[in-house]
Structure 1
Amino acid sequence: MQDITTSRATNSVFVPVAGLTVFAIASGYLMSLIPLSLGNFNIDSSYASWLASIYYVGLLLGSMMIEPIIAKIGHRVAFITFLSLLAATVVVLPIFPNKEVWLFARLVAGMAVAGIFVVVESWLLIGDNQKERAKRLGFYMTSLYGGTTIGQLAVGVFGVKGFIPFMVVMALLLIAILPPLLVKQGQPSNDAHQVLSFKQITRLSKPAIIGCMTSGVVMGSIYGLMPLALKQSSLSTNQVGVLMASIILGGMVIQPIISKISVKMSKTLLLALMSLVGVFAMGITHLSSDFTVLVTALALLGMSSFALYPIAITLACDNLDSSYIVAATQVMLFSYSIGSALGPIGANTFMAQTNGLMDFFFIVLLATAIYMLFASLQRKPQVLAS
């Protein structure tokens, strides 16, 4: 397979990152808005977990369907299409306050978000050298999680009652459409995208696939169960908010560091080291229950878990021909989605124990670190011959 550096493109980082940042703000607000607004629309709050689950099912289904769409209409139009589809699902929610409609809308929303992720990730990865790709993925992760954090703050500004919060989310999504709508240059060249056969998928980097899956397991459990686990530790709501923010800030701080280190050492070994950072973080939570120690530990957990995905996806795309990048990012998102779906289920079995969620993360990240250390010793270059 020819190295991707021999197929340089003129794709610009502005359009995908600008659109993604505004999308992330809208998504962060919507993430909190949906469960908090159920009562206002006379929908039982017990459906919050179902709405979250059906969204991840949509993400999983969407991750298997995106490549042919991008191949047919190109990155820019696909980005506009998926953002528009997501905006349409937001409009439906307050107009039809019915649990069945909301479940279907969130399923479609998950599929649209899968499309947004694959479009942006492949847009940033196609046609540049390894150093530039790592740098771009750093921008991607910082924009995604930074925007999500800002979006959470909108709950206090716009509230969760009535139509206005949903209109704010829709307006943000329409603003996110403007960069790809107005800037028609700078997208990757629309060369023929090739589908990966099952045999070729099995030849993709195994550490990359495991890294994406582990990232999904940890991130899905953090978003789904960490607030509850912290609340069970007799912490105040404000303290829980600070601790959740420390996770996200830790993840943001590590991105530029990772983008520089990943081009100077084996990415498989780097996955091992970042997993060990998480193991160390979970270990120190057993040594002290001091709030400052907990803030530090969760910031380190954020560094560990938020670093795994960008390292893994750049590892998967190393030395791939440009025509395979979209398909490869689709496979990586599929792996992440499986982890996101299974992680909270596995973590839930630990929740009855004191510090149980931390133990779960310790086990998952330690197992990943051991695997990556062994894999780094016997790493072979991936070849995708038909």
Structure 2
Amino acid sequence: MSLIPLSLTAFELDVALAPWLASVFYLGLLIGATSIERVVAKIGHRLAFILFLGLLIASVMTQLLIPSAEFWLAARFIAGIAVAGVFVVVESWLLMASTPKARAKRLGIYMTSLYGGSAVGQLAIDPLGTTGAAPYLFVIALLFLAILAPLLITSGQPESQHQQKLPLKEIKSLSRPAMLGCLASGLLLGPIYGLMPMYIANQPEQAEHTGTLMASIILGGMLVQPLVSYLSTRIGKSLLMAMFCLIGAAAVLGIVQASSFVPLVISYLVLGACSFALYPIAITLACDLLPMAKIVSATEVMLLSYSVGSVLGPVLAANLSDATDGVVFYLGGCLITTCIYMLIKSMENIRTGDTPIAG
């Protein structure tokens, strides 16, 4: 994700393409999120996992072989659909546990692994560079390694015939804080992945540390996951999301005001922790009271909410402000707005006597 905007110049593509590449990826994610449940129900989790990873590999190969704006936009759209499939398959599989505590634990381990891999990926930017075929071949090789697990391990997947589609009436009754939490997560993470590498690279005092600072953001997302898993069964989930949003807004101020490298790294780390904490809290909130047969469909709806935010986020962040720190201020605005909403919902829950797990 960070490699793509940084490699545009090397492939003789306009840097103005960056926000559109991010948005079209998330548009694919959005469209993919509306149809994954049918694929999983028909062929099962394991084969669906293989299919979507194969599609993702093909999209990266297309970018490498045909460096033109039109083909890159098409490839990123296909990649979005493929990643939607991977997310729904993996997350619904892991969320098929019998208790909210087990679900939170599984999702915490998954998110830690996901963001840990992403952080290591950011650190690969400096040694691999952003020019030529090498970084893209490295990505392709990693995806081929990922596909080995479902190819070699054929047992343990849920039974596909037990999946049920959520009717519109039940979708409307899903937790609104959960859906808004996923939407806010997309509004934050879309620009973080799509625009933040360029923002950092354009700051004179930060440019030489682009890979390190991006890794700090995602490392924060990884390190916070055990804490999210621990707190999500002990504190109301709406209040928990409000707390992370408030701390994230403070981190935005830290980025703008930092006068040395160490406070800057810490601010990016905290911003990443708070931004990446929202999605797992929201998705477990949505699934807490659902039977396992409806988990795939609910995961699909949550990913749809996330995708809407991810489509809008990069374009909004790129166009709302021409200021040097426009992207960072946009993130701060999203965090404060979400914090206020979640605090209001949390107070409503306290007044109605909802349990912490219900959020």
Match of 1:144 among 105, 114, 117: 114
Question: Alpha-carbon deviations, 1:174-199, whole Å to 9, x = none?
Answer: 21111111111111232432212222
Question: Alpha-carbon deviations, 1:309-339, whole Å to 9, x = none?
Answer: 0000000000101111111111111111111
2:97 aligned with 1:116: no
Matches within 5 A, 1:60-79: 60-79=30-49
Tell me how many residue pairs correspond in the alignment.
352
Corresponding residue for 2:50?
80
Corresponding residue for 2:220?
250
Corresponding residue for 2:204?
234
Note if contact 1:229-1:351 (Cα within 8 Å) is conserved in structure 2.
Answer: no
Corresponding residue for 2:230?
260
Please say which of residues 33-42 and 323-332 is displaced more in the overlay: 33-42
Corresponding residue for 1:348?
318
Q: Are the structure 2 counterparts of residues 168 and 354 from structure 1 closer, same or farther at C-alpha, using a change threshold of 3 Å?
A: closer
CA deviation after TM superposition for structure 1 residue 158, in Å? 4.3
Please say which of residues 164-173 and 117-126 is displaced more in the overlay: 164-173
Corresponding residue for 1:9?
none
Corresponding residue for 2:306?
336
2:291 aligned with 1:321: yes
Corresponding residue for 2:348?
378
State the distance in 2 between where 1:162 and 1:288 align.
34
Corresponding residue for 1:58?
28
2:282 aligned with 1:302: no
State the distance in 2 between where 1:165 and 1:239 align.
18
Matches within 5 A, 1:252-291: 252-285=222-255, 289-291=259-261
2:141 aligned with 1:171: yes
Question: Alpha-carbon deviations, 1:159-212, whole Å to 9, x = none?
Answer: 455555444332321211111111111112324322122222111000001111
CA deviation after TM superposition for structure 1 residue 217, in Å? 0.9
Corresponding residue for 1:92?
62
Note if contact 1:41-1:97 (Cα within 8 Å) is conserved in structure 2.
Answer: yes
State the distance in 1 between where 2:201 and 2:135 align.
27
State the distance in 1 between where 2:325 and 2:311 align.
22
Q: Are the structure 2 counterparts of residues 91 and 344 from structure 1 closer, same or farther at C-alpha, using a change threshold of 3 Å?
A: closer
Match of 1:311 among 281, 284, 287: 281
CA deviation after TM superposition for structure 1 residue 344, in Å? 2.3
CA deviation after TM superposition for structure 1 residue 227, in Å? 3.4
Unaligned stretches of 5+ residues in structure 1: 1-30
Report the 3-state secondary structure (helix = DSSP H, G, I; strand = E; otherwise coil) of the residue aligned with 1:187. Answer: coil
Report the 3-state secondary structure (helix = DSSP H, G, I; strand = E; otherwise coil) of the residue aligned with 2:224. Answer: helix
Report the 3-state secondary structure (helix = DSSP H, G, I; strand = E; otherwise coil) of the residue aligned with 1:263. Answer: coil
2:177 aligned with 1:207: yes
Question: Alpha-carbon deviations, 1:67-109, whole Å to 9, x = none?
Answer: 1000111111110111111112223333344443333222111
Corresponding residue for 2:105?
135
Q: Which amino acid aligns with 1:292?
A: V
State the distance in 2 between where 1:281 and 1:95 align.
40
Report the 3-state secondary structure (helix = DSSP H, G, I; strand = E; otherwise coil) of the residue aligned with 1:378. Answer: helix
Compute the RMSD of aligned alpha carbons. 2.5
State the distance in 2 between where 1:166 and 1:294 align.
29
State the distance in 1 between where 2:44 and 2:174 align.
24
CA deviation after TM superposition for structure 1 residue 304, in Å? 0.9
Report the 3-state secondary structure (helix = DSSP H, G, I; strand = E; otherwise coil) of the residue aligned with 1:234. Answer: coil
Question: Alpha-carbon deviations, 1:36-76, whole Å to 9, x = none?
Answer: 55555555554444333322221111111101000111111
Corresponding residue for 2:339?
369
Note if contact 2:124-2:211 (Cα within 8 Å) is conserved in structure 1.
Answer: no
Unaligned stretches of 5+ residues in structure 2: none
Q: Which amino acid aligns with 1:104?
A: A
Question: Alpha-carbon deviations, 1:271-293, whole Å to 9, x = none?
Answer: 11111111232344566544333
Note if contact 1:158-1:164 (Cα within 8 Å) is conserved in structure 2.
Answer: yes
Q: Are the structure 2 counterparts of residues 328 and 58 from structure 1 closer, same or farther at C-alpha, using a change threshold of 3 Å?
A: same
Q: Which amino acid aligns with 2:316?
A: G
CA deviation after TM superposition for structure 1 residue 360, in Å? 2.5
TM-score by length of 1: 0.83
Corresponding residue for 1:23?
none
CA deviation after TM superposition for structure 1 residue 256, in Å? 0.6
Q: Are the structure 2 counterparts of residues 285 and 118 from structure 1 closer, same or farther at C-alpha, using a change threshold of 3 Å?
A: same
Corresponding residue for 1:25?
none
CA deviation after TM superposition for structure 1 residue 32, in Å? 4.2
Q: Are the structure 2 counterparts of residues 365 and 95 from structure 1 closer, same or farther at C-alpha, using a change threshold of 3 Å?
A: closer
TM-score by length of 2: 0.88
2:329 aligned with 1:359: yes
